[in-house]
Amino acid sequence: MNIFLRELRANLKSLIIWSIIIFLLIWIAMVKFSAYASNPEMLAILDSMPKTLMDAMNMHAFNLTTLSGFFGVMFIYFGLMGAIAAGMWGSNIIAKEERNKTIEFALSLPVSRARFVTAKALAALANSIAFVLITWIASLIAMQSYNPDGAVYRFLALEMMAMFAIELIFLSIGLLVACAMKRPKRTGSIVIGIILVLYYFSMISGLHEKLDFLKYLTPFKYFDAGTLLHQGGVAPVYWALSVVIILISLTGAYYAYNRRDMYI
């Protein structure tokens, strides 16, 4: 409990910064949306855009002049921000102890490495939950002036659930990278690298049939806003894949951290 609480306090600043970023993002987006809302001319402009661009940005699935359509496109940002925030929390919460050389103090206390990792993972999880809730609240506030109906609320709830799932996946991957790697200074950039590569996969997977298999490799495709909007959920295979990734990452993280030498 002591480690968990200390980490919550230590990470509060980071959570606040991320929350400000997501508030700004949503606010700027809503300023743009005010130009799109119920504006048929906008549809014509969008139709004239190159198809490949629309595919890459996954924009063909949405009608940008409606709230649901607009928040469908916004999900790209929610997913990416959730992934980066959670990935960084997951990796940093472990790696910083070695980077700042505090690990010698932390692990000379009567605490097992497993308990140490668990407490820290829970603190990162708490941050991730808070981040989704804040995104949710910010979105709800932002859409109020456009008279959202029940369908919009349900869709937003689905998106937030999907964002949380993406956070969980990248939180686990972040933990794995930090727990397994003995180079604490590089973990952050490696996690960001993984996220960007996977995100790139999700962009190109729709472009060509031969690249279609990529959709199984990148969590960004598991939780596709188009599917969420039109089918109201996520295919079971993607849930299964998500659970598998999380379990493997967490198991690997504990296994590696329990066995390796601390970098002092």
Report, in Å, the least distance between residue 96 CB and another protein: 10
Residue 230 vs 259, nearer CB to another protein: 259
Report, in Å, the least distance between residue 112 CB and another protein: 5
Report, in Å, the least distance between residue 256 CB and another protein: 13
Residue 13 vs 210, nearer CB to another protein: 13
Residue 104 vs 212, nearer CB to another protein: 104
Residue 120 vs 221, nearer CB to another protein: 120
Report, in Å, the least distance between residue 110 CB and another protein: 4
User: What 3 state SS string does the chain have?
Assistant: CHHHHHHHHHHHHHHHHHHHHHHHHHHHHHHHHHHHCCCHHHHHHHHCCCHHHHHHCCCCCCCCCCHHHHHHHHHHHHHHHHHHHHHHHHHHHHHHHHHCCCHHHHCCCCCCHHHHHHHHHHHHHHHHHHHHHHHHHHHHHHHHHHCCCHHHHHHHHHHHHHHHHHHHHHHHHHHHHHHHCCCCCCHHHHHHHHHHHHHHHHHHCCCCHHHHHHHHCCHHHHCCHHHHHHHCCCCHHHHHHHHHHHHHHHHHHHHHHHHCCCCC
Report, in Å, the least distance between residue 184 CB and another protein: 13
Residue 2 vs 48, nearer CB to another protein: 2
By CB under 8 A, name the binding residues for another protein: 2, 6, 10, 100-105, 107-112, 115, 259-262, 264
Residue 108 vs 147, nearer CB to another protein: 108
Report, in Å, the least distance between residue 122 CB and another protein: 17
